[in-house]
Amino acid sequence: MPSRRRTDRRRLVDVAERYWIGQQKIEAIAQDTGMSRSTISRLLQQARDEGVIEFVVHHTRDDVGPLRRALHERYGVESLIPRIAADVGEPLRRVAIGREAALWLSALVEPGTSLGVTWGSTVEAVSLQLQKNHVDGVRIVQVHGSANVEAIGVNYASRVLDRFGDAFDAPVHLLPLPTLFDSAATREAMWRERSIKDALAIRRSVGLIVTSVGTSGSGRPSRLYQSGLLSQEDTLELRDQQVVGNLASVFFRRDGSTDGISLNDRSTGIPFDEFREIPVRLFVVAGRQKAEATRAVLAAGLVTHLVTDPETAVQILDTT
C-alpha cells in the first residue's frame, strides 16, 4: 500500500500536470477528480511551494519549445532539450544532457521504484551528475550484461551502476553475465540457471529505466562497438541485416524491428516486447549521429521520456 506521502505527491503531480501541461481549467480538473475548486487551487499553490512545478523566464527567443511540442505530437513523448550551441563538442553535450536527465530522474523516482540502468557514455554522464536523494525502497537493477574488457575498462558497468546506488542510497542488483554470449545455445543454458532466473525476475520488476541508443558510425562509436566484443564477422552481419543501432545490446533496424538479427539470440538485453512493459523509459541521447537510431526507437514506441540536444532533435524530426 503506498505511503500517505507518496499518495499526496502523486496528487500534486497529477493536478500540476493537468493545469500547466494539459492546459485544463480549474473547473475541469475539479470535475474530473471530484475535488472542489478551492482544493484544486490550494494543491496548485502547494505544487509551486514544494517545487513540483518550476517556472523559468527566458528573455531570449524560445527555440526549443517548438521542438518539444513537435516530438510530443509525433511520438507522444515528454522531452527536455537543454539549450546547447551548435559548435559545442560531443563531450560537453553529454554533460549538459546528463545534468538535465539527472534532475528529471530525481523527480521521476518514487518510493519502491526498481530503477533499471544500462551503461554507455551518455548514461555515464547522467551518473556523474546525480545528487544525493534518498528515496525509500528504491533498488538499482542492471538490465543487460557487462563488457569488462580492456577497451572500456574493468568493471566499467558496475561503476556506473554504483553511482546510481550511491545517489539514491539504494542496493544494486547486478546481472552477472557478459553483454553477448558466444552462442545462442550458451545463453539458453544460462537462462535455465536458478541464480540467473532470479536476476531476470528482478529485471522484470523494473518500473523506470535510464538508457540510450548505441551506434557504430561517426568518429566515436558507442561503448558496445568499442568493447572488442564484436568480431569483424559480427560487424559485417549487422551491416547485411541493415542494423542502425542497439538498445541495451539488442540490435534493431531503421523500422525498430529486431527479428532475424542473429546477434540478438546471443544478447543479454531486454527483448523489445518486454521493454515496452516498463512504465517510464527515459532515453538520453547526444549527437546528430544518434538521430536515425533514436527515430527508430521513438517510432517503435519504446520511449516515454527523452533528453537530447537541439541539433539531434531537429535531425530526429527531419524525415526527408
Alpha-carbon distance of 281 to 104, in angstroms, equals: 12
304 grid coordinates: 516515454
Per the CB < 8 A criterion, the answer to whether 82 and 129 are in contact is no
Q: Which residues contact 267 (CB under 8 A, 6 or more apart)?
A: 144, 179, 180, 181, 187, 249, 250, 251
Give pLDDT tens digits for 81-92: 988 877 777 778
Scan for cell 531570449, then name that residue: 60
Scan for cell 503506498, then name that residue: 2
CA geometry: angle at 128 spanning 127 and 129, to 5°? 95
The three-state (H, E, C) secondary structure of 101-149, written as one string: HHHHHHHHCCCCCEEEECCCHHHHHHHCCCCCCCCCCCEEEECCCECCC
pLDDT of residue 154: 47
266 grid coordinates: 546471443
More confident residue, 198 or 234: 198
CA geometry: angle at 96 spanning 152 and 100, to 5°? 105
Dihedrals φ, ψ of 304, to 5°? -110, -30
pLDDT of residue 3: 53
Q: What is the pTM of this model?
A: 0.78
Confidence of residue 151 (pLDDT cuts 50, 70, 90): very low
More confident residue, 194 or 13: 194
Average pLDDT over residues 53-60: 56
Alpha-carbon distance of 127 to 124, in angstroms, equals: 5
Percent of the chain with pLDDT over 70: 88
Is the pLDDT score of 138 beyond 80?
A: yes
| Kind of pairing between the strands at 172-173 and 208-211 | unpaired
Instruction: Give the side-chain half-sphere CA count within 13 A for 226.
Output: 16
Scan for cell 566515436, then name that residue: 220
pLDDT of residue 23: 75
Q: Mean pLDDT over all residues of the chain?
A: 86
194 grid coordinates: 536458478
Helices (H), the chain: 4-16, 26-33, 37-49, 65-75, 90-108, 121-127, 156-168, 184-191, 194-203, 223-226, 232-240, 272-275, 291-299, 310-317
Helices (H), 204-290: 223-226, 232-240, 272-275
Per the CB < 8 A criterion, the answer to whether 85 and 64 are in contact is no
Average pLDDT over residues 197-201: 94
| Kind of pairing between the strands at 250-253 and 243-247 | antiparallel
184 grid coordinates: 545462442
Confidence of residue 93 (pLDDT cuts 50, 70, 90): confident
Is the pLDDT score of 150 beyond 50?
A: no
